[in-house]
Structure 1
Amino acid sequence: MILSVRKTLATASLLLASLGALTGCASAPTVADYARETPVMDMKEYFNGTVDAWGMFQDRSGKVVKRFTVLMKCHWDGDVGTLDEDFSYSDGTREKRVWTIRKEGNRYVGTAADVKGQALGEGAGNAFNFKYTLLLPVDGTVYEVQFDDWLYRMDERTVLNRAVMSKFGFTLGAVTLSFRKRD
């Protein structure tokens, strides 16, 4: 009987350790994971001047449902930046978003007319992560969707961006962008 209990406990311990290892592998990345990567993603330095971007939105199945370009005019006054974005979609529609971003120590706080509350961001190494709720109009209804937005500095002029969009914890789709800073 004692041997059976020990075997059961040993099996349970092995299962818990295995589940812990799997859970650890499945954990979400943090900006600290990129702290040693270069070049450094300095928001104030990169998003200063004119930046062009090319992007697409994919639904949760992976199908590309929208393609677009963005012209960004960016400038900073001390620790407050303005990112003025003009979107042009492949279907001919246009959209504008103006971000106001404040650097507060190692963190950034952003606001825009179609963002509920504040976007909260932090960076380390070549990565920057912004989390926010976007007010997304669809067929006359405005939906609140969460964005987990990651930017990765590739070189002096290039940043790649992947943002996952979700609602109630379910992934709705993803936005992929390539930014290119003008000389």
Structure 2
Amino acid sequence: MKRRLLLLATSAALAGCAGPQVTDYAGQTPQLDLRTYFNGTLDAFGVFTDRSGKVVKRFTVLMVCSWNGDDGVLDESFTYADGTLQKRIWRLHREADGRYTGRADDVVGTALGSESGNAFHWQYTLALPVDGSVYNVQFDDWMYLMTDKVMLNKATMSKLGIRLGEVTLSFTKR
């Protein structure tokens, strides 16, 4: 049993190292400045797909974003296809080295991220309510600026290194 757990942990660690790095996108345009893009009102349209690729949830998000220097607030209002509503308020901070930290009420600890070229990558743990229980799941979240108005977002959700599904979003800046 211990050997199997060690093999699983080693495989998960190696798989995590094999992925792209945000610096891989350094030469890509348009150049992303998170503080400029996430400033004002944005609309987002998204889906959550399970491991098989089946759409499990569809949703829209109204985002009202503002910055005061290096500190930003992203106020997100989710509306799910079944009529369920959810609110998340991100409080972001741009560090001196260009990296970002983020906090929200349903985020466990601190989200850590950085931008390069047209991409932003961050990782965080979300306390996700499911059928009366709350599960801490990890998000590996990538955003790609397509134009000054459109950004695409793809986030992989996992627990204990096992992929549970993906969230795909399209942001449109008003």
TM norm structure 1: 0.85
Equivalence for 2:120: 128
Task: Please give the secondary structure, in 1, of the residue aligned with 2:35.
Answer: helix
Match of 2:65 among 62, 74, 96: 74
Deviations 1:84-122, CA, capped at 9 Å, x for gaps: 000000001000000000000210000000000000000
How many Å apart are 1:50 and its aligned residue? Answer: 0.2
How many Å apart are 1:135 and its aligned residue? Answer: 0.2
Distance 2:126 2:18 in 1: 24
Distance 1:108 1:162 in 2: 18
How many Å apart are 1:139 and its aligned residue? Answer: 1.1
Match of 1:63 among 35, 54, 74: 54
Which runs of structure 1 show a deviation greater than 2 angstroms over 4 or more consecutive aligned residues? none
Match of 2:93 among 79, 84, 102: 102
Equivalence for 2:107: 115
Task: Please give the secondary structure, in 2, of the residue aligned with 1:71.
Answer: strand
Matches within 5 A, 1:23-34: 27-34=18-25
Distance 1:159 1:96 in 2: 21
Equivalence for 2:36: 45
Match of 1:157 among 144, 149, 155: 149
User: AA paired with 1:163?
Assistant: A
Deviations 1:60-93, CA, capped at 9 Å, x for gaps: 0000000000000000011000000000000010
Deviations 1:147-183, CA, capped at 9 Å, x for gaps: 000000000100000000000000000000000000x
User: AA paired with 2:111?
Assistant: A
Equivalence for 1:11: none
Q: How many residues align?
A: 159
TM norm structure 2: 0.89
The structure having more radius of gyration, on CA atoms, is 1
RMSD of aligned C-alpha atoms? 1.3
Stretches of structure 2 lacking an aligned partner (at least 5 in a row): 1-13
Distance 2:77 2:42 in 1: 11
